[in-house]
Amino acid sequence: MYKPEAEIQFPKDFLLGAASSAHQVEGNNKNSDWWHYEELGKVPKSGLATDHYNRFDEDFGIAQSIGLNAMRISIEWARIEPQPGTWDMEAVEHYRKVLQSMKQRGLTRMVTLQHFTLPWWLAKRGGFSASNADELFARYCVFVVENLINDVELWVTINEPEIYSRMTRFLGLHPPFKKNIISALWYGHCLVKSHKAAFRAIKKSFPNVKVGIAKNDVYNEPARRSHWLDRLTAKVMNYFGNEYFLVRISNELDFIGLNYYFSHVVKLSLFGGYETVNRNAPMSDMGWRTYPEGIYHLLLDLKKYHKPIYITENGIANSSDDMRQRFIFEHLEWTKKAMEQGADVRGYFYWTLVDNYEWHDGFDPKFGLVELNNETLARKVRTSSEIFKQIKIG
Ligand code: FCB
């Protein structure tokens, strides 16, 4: 297995963590839209997921033991507000315990308020495209922040608005399985509106809390640098994929969260549109090509917003665990290089801590630093997690 000799040094206060989301780990998320469609057999069943709902303390203990100092989790709207306007205080108390366990384990807490799932009652009305969804989302966010303000350091409103719109409304892979470009574009617009409403409402009541978004950016590079058409193709793709959302919310952000998984080599297709050229690079179990240098270019590009940046997700599905160490190390090396060029990066969260429910792919992809036995739910730390010993902070 690849074992770098070198160490990477990050400044004091740099966050080194792992990311997860509620529906993918907690289990029994019965009031959500996903659960509804799982029961109908339209997507794999999440069941107990990793049973993180009960085993959170064990998980945070593992995170601490492998050298992490932060975690990004998400709160499930469907648990907090199972019916419109009905707040479940037991759910709030549960999350308080979760957050306090993180603190006891020395983990800085980043919390996402909406990560791909919705309460079923809202999904039935069209989700974020319901007429007053922005107000409902802002109301839920303020309620959560008000109750958990002392237990969270960083808040993220929405996870990957563009991927969420694409998967649910364009590719039809996630509930409600629509395949309609207009509806996907409209949904993206509604997510921008909802993010803004939530940001403003939170900041109005609690001006000092830090609120950002987790944005999936793709690094597109031209197949032939010398060819202006290829350069233009890459530019257009970077604009619509990466900038379009951020430009519209750049006044409503305390920090930017970057989720980085994809990079494409693009050229203009003879038939109109674009085509991607295969990069000769190692491939994950999901068929995703890895390209650590891409994170460097994206981070430098984000400098123009003059905001602190957290890498809120970056990870690889790799069941044999033979690629993960190199993957993490090289992404951190390129992150460090971007910081030396002035990118204000404050932390890195690997996706994910424990193998989990990967949406429509079920439990097959193995992203975890920790292997999950799907029968017994036992956790086994993977060798690759030793890489964090080579990352120094301070
Ligand atoms: C991201 C999602 C996350 C997980 C990873 C693999 O797009 O935010 O929930 O599925 O991909």
Per-residue pLDDT reduced to its tens digit, 169-182: 999 999 999 999 99
* Distance from the alpha carbon of residue 229 to the mean position of ligand 1, in angstroms: 32
Mean pLDDT for 288-305 is: 97
* Atom number in ligand 1 closest to CA 116: 9
Per-residue pLDDT reduced to its tens digit, 184-242: 999 999 999 999 999 999 999 999 999 999 999 999 999 888 889 889 989 998 998 89
pLDDT at 31 over 70: yes
What letters, b where the CB count within 10 A reaches 16 and e where it falls short, cover 255-291? Answer: bbbbbbbbbbbbbbeeeeebebeebeeeebbeebbbb
Nearest to residue 78, comparing CAs of 26, 124, 117?
A: 117
Write the residue with the smallest CA distance to atom 10 of ligand 1.
358
* Distance from the alpha carbon of residue 225 to the mean position of ligand 1, in angstroms: 31
Mean pLDDT for 8-14 is: 97
pLDDT value of residue 1 = 66
pLDDT value of residue 272 = 66
pLDDT at 273 over 70: no
Per-residue pLDDT reduced to its tens digit, 162-171: 999 999 999 9
pLDDT value of residue 2 = 73
Q: Which of 42-46, 186-190, 273-277 shows the lowest mean pLDDT across its residues? A: 273-277
Mutate to test the pocket of ligand 1, among 43, 191, 313, 316 (most ligand atoms within 8 A of CB): 313
Question: pTM score > 0.95 for this model?
Answer: yes
* Atom number in ligand 1 closest to CA 359: 10
- 62, 65, 68, 69 alpha-carbon torsion, rounded to 10°: 100
Mutate to test the pocket of ligand 1, among 353, 358, 366, 367 (most ligand atoms within 8 A of CB): 358
* Distance from the alpha carbon of residue 23 to the mean position of ligand 1, in angstroms: 11
Amino acid sitting at position 153: E
- Give the other-Cβ count within 10 Å of 221's Cβ: 20
Per-residue pLDDT reduced to its tens digit, 367-378: 999 999 999 999
Q: What is the mean pLDDT of the chain?
A: 96
Contact 191, 129 (CB under 8 A): no
Phi, psi dihedrals of residue 173, rounded to the nearest 5°? -95, -25
Amino acid sitting at position 115: H
* Distance from the alpha carbon of residue 352 to the mean position of ligand 1, in angstroms: 9
Contact 61, 353 (CB under 8 A): no
* Atom number in ligand 1 closest to CA 367: 6
DSSP 204-232: HH-TTS-EEEEEE--EEEESSTT-HHHHH
Ligand 1 site residues, Cβ closer than 6 angstroms: 21, 159-160, 163, 216, 259, 313, 351, 358-359, 367
* Atom number in ligand 1 closest to CA 365: 6
* Distance from the alpha carbon of residue 224 to the mean position of ligand 1, in angstroms: 30
Write the residue with the smallest CA distance to atom 5 of ligand 1.
351
At 13, list the tokens.
């206060």
